Structure 1
Amino acid sequence: MLDDLVPDDLWERVAPLLPPRPPRRHRSPGRLPTDDRAALRGIVYVLCKGVSWRDVPAERTGCSGVTAWRRLRDWTEAGLWPRLHEVLLAELRSAGLQEMDDAAIDGSHVRALKRGAHTGPSPVDRGRPGSKHHLIVDRRGTPLASTLTGGNRHDVTQLLPLLDAIPPIRGLRGRPRQRPRRLFADRGYDYDKYRRILRRRGITPRIARRGVAHGSGLGKARWVVERTFAWLHQFKRLRIRYEIRADLHEGLLQLACSIICLRRLRTSF
């Protein structure tokens, strides 16, 4: 078994959040459902290896690819992945590893091999269908929220949705944190309209200006979001979008963000 794909510390955080199973309809015991940990192992296997669902090795993961896909569907519809991410962010804040005073935002293109919601002609891939991962991270590069759009959507359209998607991060006494004090972004977000909106929300914009020579120094704070994209794309299933259903691809993206948060917790001890 590939137990290292779902180590104990990950399973201990996922298990309490799993939705209850529906009651069995028939009296006869029939075939027992696949163990949830084995199903999660199959999901993480696809996320890490990038293989198709039918190529999940049941003899190694304890779960068929069809079952793993169904659990991904059910758990995504139940909202498991955002809750898992919120739990891990709270643990990071409790451990003193959450630095939300500064945040950075950016987007990254990925190819989409199939049509579906949140796909569009990519301007960086000869108009082929593509999608965009949008990400906001804290000063350490910890992912705070992510969204998925079509490849033809402008980065700035996700500035406010990403800020709104940051969950209330608990972990310490007092009010939970839900917004940074300063937001760093590249020239793609250079619009005075959004600067005014950020200031009304109590956020100081640190956005590079178009037409200004490089060397502003803002890259010293923005580079962390590029590093986090590199971490995300180590999960091979996220390099290319194979899922037709946008919610399933976004669920895998949120699961990857949670795993990155868990790795930050491990390295702190």
Structure 2
Amino acid sequence: MRRHELTGSEWELLAPLIPSAGRGRPRAEDRRVVNGMVYKIRTGVSWRDLPERYGPWKSVYTRFRRYAIDGVFTQALQQIQAQADAAGDIDWLVQIDSTIVRAHQHSAATGRKGGSIGDEPDDHALGRSRGGLTTKIHLACDGRGRPLAILLTPGQRHDGVCAQPLLERIRVPRTGQGRPRCRPNHMIADKAYSSRGFRVYLRRRGIGHTIPEKNDQKQHRRNRGRRGGRPAGFDLEIYRRRNTVERCFNQLKGFRGIATRYEKTATSYEAAVTLASLLLWARSV
């Protein structure tokens, strides 16, 4: 094993999750190709600059792109989550937050005219914020700091708008019969998610939540008197655990290919983030 490659235990866990080869000529060794993908997102190098030990760079890129479009990494992540949930290893005290990622100039050169292809968004999850061209990663993680759901948007998109779509992406399958688990026991978020509409949505789904109230919302409620309703419940001890999602972002951004976006399409970049999340889970189970 070399630096930035899978350990033996990590490969034993991931190998059954990689799709088997179909008919035709034998393809490149799976472990070598996946190691090339991991090296790429670990170091942030260009696909053309992959070391020769991973084989032709185009073969590694083609496989990565195919997996990204087919959602292979997402399915593999859900399978690992299902195994952990069956073993009672998931802490369903879920935290949500977002982080801004600077987009490299190469990622903006999509070269596409006339919209998107397939599930690719028209804007490729690229937007302009105060930092220039950016992408925002919205993340929901469990109480042990492992990603449960990921959502990419342009960098200027407000967190509160994406809270509901992010939670609806949490989908942990059952190992036996039954519907996938989609509802946390409790959710923690910061003031950016403090809106009446989102709180109503959480109550309807029966999700307990700890979200601090903004000062202007408090004042507006006081000004309305009895019609303003009761203050939102807030438990400071539970809220102190919100640093878990920040530590999860810190681990994801340890991958240089995640900390800076080099991928041109949102599909490829989301696949890279999902692969990094998969490695975080592989280390913890």
- Which TM-score bucket, shorter chain as reference? 0.7 to 0.9
- Supply the distance in 1 between the matched residues of 2:269 and 2:204 (Cα, whole angstroms): 33
Residues 1-269 of structure 1 mapped to structure 2, 5 A cutoff: 2=2, 5-21=5-21, 23-24=23-24, 33-59=27-53, 62-100=54-92, 102-113=93-104, 114-115=107-108, 117-123=124-130, 125=131, 128-171=132-175, 176-211=180-215, 216-217=236-237, 219-265=239-285
Give yes or no for contact 1:104–1:225 (8 Å, CA) kept in 2.
Answer: yes
Q: Partner amino acid for 1:231?
A: Q
Change (3 A) 1:160 1:174: same
Counterpart contact for 2:148–2:170, Cα < 8 Å:
yes
Sequence identity percentage: 33
Deviations 1:88-113 (A, max 9, x none): 1122223332111x111000000112
The separation in 2 between residues aligned to 1:99 and 1:169, in whole angstroms, is 15
| CA shift in 2, pair 1:2/1:67, >3 Å | farther
Residue identity matched to 2:270: E
Secondary structure, aligned partner of 2:48? helix
Paired positions, count: 252
Taking only aligned residues, the RMSD between alpha carbons, in angstroms, comes to: 2.4
Structure 1 residues 185-232: Cα deviation after superposition (integer angstroms, max 9, x where no partner): 0011111011001110111221111127xx945541211000000010
Residue segments in structure 2 that go unaligned for 5+ positions in a row: 111-123, 219-234
Contact 1:13–1:84 (CA<8 Å) still a contact in 2? no
SS in 2 for 1:34: coil
Deviation at 1:69, TM superposition (A): 1.2
Maintained 8 Å contact 1:103/1:180: yes
Given that residues 156 and 189 in structure 1 are in contact (C-alpha distance below 8 angstroms), is that contact kept between their aligned partners in structure 2?
yes
Q: Aligned partners of 2:98 and 2:51: how far apart in 1?
A: 33
Rounded Cα–Cα distance in structure 2 between residues aligned with 1:19 and 1:140: 29
- One-letter code of the match for 2:97? D
Q: Which segments of 5 or more consecutive residues in structure 1 lack a partner in the other structure?
A: none
* 3-state SS of paired residue (1:132): strand
Q: Deviations over 1:206-265 (max 9, x none)?
A: 1111127xx945541211000000010111110110111110100010111111111111
Task: Give, in whole Å, the separation in 2 of the partners of 1:16 and 1:169.
Answer: 17
CA distance in 2: counterparts of 1:242 and 1:69, whole angstroms: 13
Compute the TM-score of the two structures, normalised by the length of structure 1. 0.85
